[in-house]
Amino acid sequence: MSKKRQELIDTAIRLFGQHGFHATGIDWIAEEANVSKKTMYQHFRSKDELIVAALKHHDGLFRNFFMRAVEDSAETPYERLIAIFDVAHAWFSQHDFYGCMFINAIGEYSNKNTAIQQTCIEFKRLMSSYIEELANLLAVENPVELASELAILLEGSIVTAQVSRNPNAASTAKKAAKILIDNEMK
């Protein structure tokens, strides 16, 4: 990938995350990325295309960070499912945490079946799949159900941490997750 393109996407992710999508103008992104508008429109034909590119790039980066952190934190599937919420806590504690970019995007582009929306849905699907894979390795009756519950806990902790500006939503969700997993394994 070209360096300019990379810089544009990185800047877009940062500004979209901080200020939202509609509130972040093209000119602003180009300026912060030290790229002229002309060059920018050679890489992305429209703002929507840039948004989709930024979301997809962030998707890759984020899931890589998240899964790697989970796998570095614990060995067994059981411990890893719980470690998800430790990783979430670390995420929420970052100074530039403004909630989940994909949730925020869905909030701004909720009405139409756009590529933006599809990208967000796909991200959530992939995250759920990851949790499901871990749950499948447990000796439980209904791993899919358990995974759905844990995914909901994760989403809830993200939003709660975002609204309350308190990363401890992850700790609360972790306790709940433990109970749900243990209950299913008993």
Measured distance CA(42)–CA(45) in Å, rounded: 7
Is 35 or 51 the residue whose CB approaches a second copy more closely?
Answer: 51
Considering CB distances under 5 to 8 angstroms, the limit depending on partner class, which of DNA, a second copy, none binds residue 118?
none
Q: Which residues bind DNA (CB under 7 A)?
A: 2, 4, 24-28, 34-39, 41-42, 45-48
Residue 51: which of 14, 17, 21, 6 has the closest Cα? 21
Is 44 or 78 the residue whose CB approaches DNA more closely?
Answer: 44
Residue 12: which of 51, 68, 59, 48 has the closest Cα? 51
Q: Which residues bind a second copy (CB under 8 A)?
A: 18-20, 22-23, 98-99, 102-104, 106-111, 120-121, 124, 145, 148-149, 151-160, 162-164, 169, 172-173, 175-176, 179-180, 183
- Collapsing DSSP to helix, strand or coil, 180 comes out as helix
- Least distance from C-beta 162 to a second copy, angstroms? 6
Half-sphere exposure of 169 (CA within 13 A, CB side): 21
Considering CB distances under 5 to 8 angstroms, the limit depending on partner class, which of a second copy, DNA, none binds residue 25?
DNA
Is 68 or 175 the residue whose CB approaches a second copy more closely?
Answer: 175
